[in-house]
Amino acid sequence: MDGSYTGRMMNRKIPFIKGQMGGNEIVLLDGKSIPTKDRLEIGLTVLDPPSIRGHQAALLYGDGVNRLRAEIISVSGRGFISSCGGLTQVLGKALVDTDISNRFKLGLDEPITAVELETEAGLVPIISEGQRIISVMTAFVEECYGLGVVPMQVAGVNVWRVGKVLVVDGAELREAYPEVTLDRFDDRTKTVLSRLQDDFHAAAFPGRDVGDFAVYDFRPAHSGDGRVIFPHKISAGHIEPSCGTGTVAVGIAIAEGGTPNPDQRELRLRFESGGDGSGIGGPDITEIWLTTDDNKRVMQVRFTHSDVDIIATGHAWTQTRKQSAKED
């Protein structure tokens, strides 16, 4: 043999569960059915058309009674990410509505009360209260503070960097760019938002295309306190109408900024979300509860979303290239 390799395609059959949280589509995969070297390739294949499709995929591994471990892949960054709030909500729903607990031998009692999800950011308790799922995102909060929670100015707009997330107040955006139309994104608005994100990356993460994007506005259209949307990567058309970590980042920025009440130590905020991605807000509610210390530092965050469903279950067929030695 000459030491070189030739590849042939190998079909793989991978169990999946697909769910959604206000339009944020999550695909749960059985991590044990995917070779370590193929995790990212297969995860992105599942997320991309014409396969199952979604915004994030989670490779799940059983990690003991009432605990799972997740390796999370995002379609926008084309790589692994440390945390995903939508995943925690969809997983909580899957524990109620599917046989996923049997697959991973979680040993849950009825009714299901709580599981822990191990992520790169840390442990996330997921609590089931009937059909309502509560995600305790304190590990993500700690990650954000570890990376930095600071006010900035990018492209002439006062913003917050919350960990890797760019957080923009719609009022600040309109003050700098009166022509933007958050109710429905036109080409000018998309250009402005793209410029903000590009300048943010250049200032906070030079040479790296990382980070998420959250826009909020305290001008509700329905029953919420405000509205949110998440234009994570406008250039690729990746605008999420709902995002758990993004909403938590918004809550951190609001608490750190001293609004809406600088003396309040416990905040409850209800954001309209789950629209069609063409403008801010929607018919759903993402509700977050924040606890802060005397210095306005956020100590704990929990959140829930009003619209979480399991969309499909089955098996995904993917192809990977199997390496084999080539003879002389």
Q: Write the pLDDT tens digit of every residue in 101-122.
A: 888 888 776 666 788 999 999 9
Tell me what pLDDT residue 10 has: 66
Q: Which phi-psi region, left, alpha or beta, contains residue 236 (left: φ > 0; alpha: ψ -120 to 50)?
A: alpha
Q: Taking 80 as the threshold, does the pLDDT of residue 44 lie above it? A: yes
Q: Interior CA angle at 301 toward 64 and 144, to 5°?
A: 90
Q: What residues contact 163, with CB distance under 8 A and at least 6 apart? A: 140, 143, 144, 145, 146, 147, 148, 149, 249
**81 compared with 11, residue with greater pLDDT:** 81
- For the segment 120-140, the average pLDDT, to the nearest whole number, is 91
Confidence (pTM): 0.90
Residues present in the chain in total = 328
pLDDT grade for 326, boundaries at 50, 70 and 90: very low
